[in-house]
Structure 1
Amino acid sequence: MNPAYDADVIIAGAGPAGAAAACHLTRLGASVILLDRAAFPRDKVCGDFVGPSALIELDSLGISQSDGYSKTNIVRRAALFIDGEALIARPFPVIEGLPPYGRVIPRFTLDNFILDAARRAGAKVMELCSLTDFAASADSVCVEVASAKGPFTLRCRQLIGADGGSSAVARLLRGSAPPRRDRFIASRAYFTDVEGPGDQLDVYFGRSSFPGYCWLFPTGNGEANVGLGMALETWPAHNQTPADMLRRLMDEDAALAARLRHAQLRGTVKGWPLITFNPRLPIMSGRVMLIGDAAGLINPLNGEGIQYALLSGRWAAETLAPCLRTNDFSARALAPYAARVESEMRYDMAFSRLIVQLISNRALTPLWIKASKVLAERAHEDANTARIVSGVFAGLLPARDAFKVVGGTMRQALRSFVRKAHTGSRGADDAPPRFHLVREAAKDPAGFARWLKDIAAATIELASQATRNAIRGNRKETAGMAALKPIASVNQFADEDPG
């Protein structure tokens, strides 16, 4: 270690992405300093679902041997409810090499598991310290840090930004905050004495909250994480906060109310912002790279972020390993990280972004709700559709697999609306979709134009990614790709089904 450096790598943010990267890097022989403005263990507002692919990553870090890990709650099924009606409940699909279950682990516990693994591997953790600025040069990065004892400076060979959706590193690297259209907002609360199955993830859609969705994820012992998330930008704009919508759904949604009939709120309802993936924004520059939420690696379709945080932490470490050995931090040497993110994630993110842009048009909410019901009905009748729906939701299958069912679903939903129009159905929600669209467009033509522009941009991005994917011949499912195979063997999970 050159005495001119305080560490080979400084990581701003000790959440799952940062702590995972620190653990991998120190095992590879690098010296690492982890900075975080909080003191651990600390809470982090999240849905808490850790999918099968993420469990593989945790095992590669040694988390499955941590005290208390085996007691975290296992979930094997997912259920969909629309306007209080139960439409489908299915086990997670079986994917070779992956466990047939997920876990719901509160972030207060999960993040501490991963940070302890980084500490055991040799990373130096500096709590109550936050990055305020950095300056990258040809041979180092100088990092300005604020702490309770006053500001100080650290010097490293590489800086990694893992400091969440409001990342200071991302803002400094990109020169601005993320655009509003990339932002989601969500609220979450914990409840005790929750009724119903403890191994089932529930997702609730309703006209009053669409395009947001509500979830109930059991954390074990009759407790559950209950929350609601939605895009910040919708058209027409919504005037309720996720916390308000969540409280309303708890009263109005029959299925959710049934599970919370005798439940007690533990703590308070908390909110937080999410930044979703934007391919136009850089995730690295010079000796600085972004991982996890700081890079916007959140799927806007299902809100999945933990899996991508753990993956990107490992990808960053694997890219940096040869750079640290050869002292080559050139753009060419660091490029494999950005290339890996693009090749493994950009196509799926493009599809998810287009779907979210479409359903952000609240003037067409009756159509989207009908399409969701049609999709659930098709899943009841067709095992492959059910497999795709549950697999995409659980993060086991790539979002682009939904292409196989979306087209037919939308055609069937539109035919239903046409039939209602011809038979003279009453009620605003039964009117043809064009009625709602024309009415709202007349009220806000500028907003409608922005929505069309965003749809066009999302469509072009998806088309370009589909073309690149076809040229590469990369048609494998995400779960079968090398990106999801960690340093440790995955075979041990194939037949495991803990009680």
Structure 2
Amino acid sequence: MTVHDVIVVGAGAGGCAAASLLARQGADVLLLDQSAPPRDTVRSDGLMPQGVYWLDRLGCVDAVLAEARGCIKGCDLYLDGRHLLTGRFPSDSPYPDFALLVLRRRFNEIMLAHAVSSGARFAGGTMVRDVARDGGVMRVSADCGRKAVEHRARIVIGADGASSAVSRSIGNNLKDGVLGLSVRTTYAGVKCDAGIRVYFNRGFFPSYGWMFIDEHQTACVGVGCAVDQKFPPTDRLGAALRQFIESDLKETLADARRIGPFSGGIAPHFRPDAMTADGVVLIGDAACQADPLNRGGIHTAIESAFYAADACRLSLESGDFSRTALARYEALWGAHSEPDWRTSEIFMSLAKNPGLKELVLFLLEQVGTLGEADPRFGAFASGVFSGVVSQSSWLSIRALSDAVPRDPAAWASLLRENSRSKTSVAAGSVRLLAGAVASAVRGGAGLARRPGPSIDWGLEVLTKALTFADRRLAAPRTASSPEN
């Protein structure tokens, strides 16, 4: 039986990227996926600036740009139906200052075509059931149609998503932590400009809504929330999506028609017990690497593919496929991505607690108002939310001092916005202070209503904060980025 250098399980963004990089370096790569293209729906999904950057590094950004159905320079933020902020992507980051809207089906096809043209072999319609070590190689057991098949490789890369069979095979307990749940649908004939909109509403918080509108007047509309055993979903997300459409999008979608079903998604937002094992590497959602703050998973999957490909290349060259040899992957990911991921995890832990609804929304409103008054601060805030700006910047005194508005007029605008008349700075100061106190009190009362879960939640947040601080001090960003 043929023993491949690498088998990649999952032909999504991360899997195709890893297959492309390794095949281009001369490795014998087999790419497996349970589906055969075309995959997914007619919806346009957002590709953040980081994704555009990594696609450029990968060498297929031109094909994606040619298929783009919208080039977006910023994002609109709404609270209870009121526009708060138009946040622009910063122009002084390593990433481009725009996002793309691309049909997910076409994006998948481009990524797969790039992997195949780079030299990888694709076998669709293959459902992987198990991965096990057999002597010095990895045995991949799968079903192809009604036939059981088996493939062998020196290394297996698990890129098979949140319910990863590869992750289970190395002992990880799936869905044992915070999960991002979402439901979405697609509308045509949406009469508004192309863009990305994010909606928060007291009626369905801690869920939030979004709408991606492309240049063909097609919109992807959805809601998402973070849940775990302490805070299970209080409502069915399908009902929350209907409520979101009826309350926040009623006018926007008045003349539009729904052209897609309600479809659900799940993304894990917790560290698995292991990202590597002897002969095995996990990337993307299989490694729970989606951004906990904005739930973005495409760019994080492609980025992790670069680090995984670098570690696999060195293992293939040395002939050492042990977990120790493949640990370079975890070191690279940890040095470049883990600080921001853990910062996002802390923010998500704070926001997922429904008892803190009023406090979180109050702070969000002040940040949005100040960002609208000061475009520089607005770019910083939206950059952190999207991940274009390092999310750990919120915990950096220097970064915050650089971003905080220096123009007194911006602060005066914030205070006036908090006054009843929208003109009095003094009255706004009083109301801002009163609002902060009232929101904090309501937050405390919300926590007190559920003392058991609240104590567990408080310990969780404290543990995550201490873990972040410990790793930040013990593992500074020193590892070099792989050049592929």
With the shorter chain as reference, the TM-score category is 0.7 to 0.9
What is the alpha-carbon distance in structure 1 between the residues aligned to residue 295 and residue 258 of structure 2?
Answer: 23
1:303 partnered with 2:331? no
Secondary structure (helix, strand or coil) at the match of 2:132 reads strand
1:167 Cα shift? Answer: 0.7
2:293 maps to a residue whose letter is L
Amino acid at match of 1:467: L
The yes-or-no answer on 1:197 pairing with 2:202 is: no
1:395 paired with 2:387, answer yes
Map of 1:434 onto structure 2: 441
Instruction: Please tell me whether the aligned partners of residues 132 and 168 of structure 1 are also in contact (alpha carbons under 8 angstroms).
Output: yes
154, 171, 196: which one aligns with 1:174: 171
| Distance in structure 1 (CA, Å) of the matches to 2:446 and 2:379 | 38
1:450 aligns with 2:456: yes
1:432–1:224 CA distance, 2 compared to 1 (3 A): closer
Q: Which residue of 1 aligns with 2:27?
A: 30
Identify the residue that residue 423 of structure 2 maps to in structure 1.
Answer: none
State whether structure 2 residue 131 is matched by structure 1 residue 139: no
Supply the AA of the counterpart residue of 1:358: L
What RMSD, in angstroms, separates the aligned Cα atoms of the two structures?
3.0
* 1:426-453 residue CA offsets vs partner (Å, 9 max, x unmatched): xxx99553345336534x3322222122
* Aligned CA distance change for structure 1 residues 150 and 257 (closer, same or farther; 3 Å): same
- How has the CA–CA distance of structure 1 residues 367 and 436 changed in structure 2, closer, same or farther, with 3 Å as cutoff? closer
Q: Any conservation in 2 of the 1:17–1:292 contact (CA below 8 Å)?
A: yes
* Alignment-mate amino acid for residue 444 of structure 2: L
Matched, 1:240 2:235: yes
1:80-102 Cα deviation digits (max 9, x unpaired):
11001111113321035532211
Name the SS for the 2:212 alignment partner: strand
Provide the residue aligned with 2:6 in structure 1: 9
In the alignment, the residues of structure 2 paired with residue 432 and residue 448 of structure 1 have an alpha-carbon distance, to the nearest angstrom, of: 17
Counterpart AA for 1:387: A
2:124 to 111, 127, 132: 127
Residue 388 of structure 1 aligns to which amino acid in structure 2?
F
Output aligned runs, 1:360-375, within 5 Å: 360-375=352-367
Separation (CA, whole Å) in 2 of partners of 1:90 and 1:282: 37
Aligned to 1:183: 179
Corresponding letter in the other structure for 2:335: S
Partner SS state of residue 353, structure 1 = helix
In structure 2, C-alpha distance between the alignment counterparts of 1:233 and 1:197, rounded to whole Å: 36
User: Which of residues 263, 270, 275 in structure 2 aligns to 1:270?
Assistant: 263
Helix, strand or coil: the match of 1:33?
Answer: strand
| Structure 1 unaligned regions, length at least 5 | 475-480, 488-499
- Identify if the C-alpha distance between structure 1 residues 374 and 39 changes in structure 2 by more than 3 Å, giving closer, same or farther: same
1:229 to 224, 231, 236: 224
After superposition, the Cα gap between the structure-2 partners of 1:114 and 1:223, relative to the gap in structure 1 and judged at 3 Å, is same
Mapped partners of 1:203, 1:297: distance in 2: 22
Local SS of the residue matching 2:76 = strand
* Alignment match of 2:286 (pick from 283, 294, 300): 294
- What displacement does 1:45 show? 10
Q: What do the CA deviations read for 1:462-487 (whole angstroms, capped 9, x no partner)?
A: 22233236xx376xxxxxx964x864
- Whole-Å separation in 1 of the counterparts to 2:13 and 2:332: 19
What is the percentage of aligned positions where both structures have the same residue? 27
Q: Does residue 465 in structure 1 map to residue 471 in structure 2?
A: yes
CA deviation vs aligned residue, 1:301-350 (integer Å, no higher than 9, x gap): 00111111111112111211122123222334212101011111111111
Supply the distance in 2 between the matched residues of 1:237 and 1:273 (Cα, whole angstroms): 14
C-alpha offsets along residues 237-281 of structure 1, whole Å, 9 cap, x if unaligned? 54212221121011112xx33322211111111111111141x62
Indicate how the Cα distance of structure 1 residues 175 and 44 shifts in structure 2: closer, same or farther if over 3 A, else same.
Answer: farther
Q: Mean alpha-carbon deviation: is it higher for 455-464 or for 56-65? A: 56-65
- How far did residue 67 of structure 1 move? 8.1
2:191–2:217 CA contact under 8 A, matched in 1: yes
Aligned with 2:337: secondary structure? helix
Q: State the one-letter code of the partner of 2:473.
A: T
Q: Distance in 1 between matches of 2:95 and 2:404?
A: 30
Name the SS of the counterpart of 1:159 in structure 2. Answer: strand
Aligned partners of 1:336, 1:44: CA distance in 2, in Å? 36
Say whether residues 1:55 and 2:52 are aligned partners: yes
Q: For 2:280, give the aligned amino acid.
A: V
Per the alignment, residue 370 of structure 2 pairs with 378
TM-score normalised per structure 1: 0.85
Q: What corresponds to 1:217 in structure 2? A: 212
Instruction: Give TM-score, length-normalised by structure 2.
Output: 0.87
Pick aligned residue for 2:17 from 20, 34, 44 = 20
1:45 and 1:174, CA in 2 relative to 1: closer, same or farther beyond 3 A? farther
Quickly say closer, same or farther: Cα 1:394–1:417, change in 2 above 3 A. Answer: same
State the SS of the aligned residue for 1:220.
coil
Deviation, structure 1 residue 123: 1.1
AA at the equivalent of 1:117: H
Taking the aligned partners of 1:456 and 1:467, their CA distance within structure 2 comes to 17
Structure-2 residue corresponding to 1:337? 329
Separation (CA, whole Å) in 1 of partners of 2:204 and 2:172: 34
Contact persistence 1:77–1:92 (CA under 8 A): yes
Number of the residue aligned with 1:493:
none
Q: Deviations over 1:66-86 (max 9, x none)?
A: 388344321112111100111
Letter in 1 for 2:257: Q
User: Could you tell me which amino acid in structure 1 is paired with residue 382 of structure 2?
Assistant: S
Partner of 1:171, secondary structure, is helix
Q: Could you tell me whether the CA contact under 8 Å between 1:144 and 1:151 is conserved in 2?
A: yes
Change (3 A) 1:7 1:238: closer
Distance 1:67 1:211 in 2: 33
Aligned CA distance change for structure 1 residues 57 and 95 (closer, same or farther; 3 Å): same
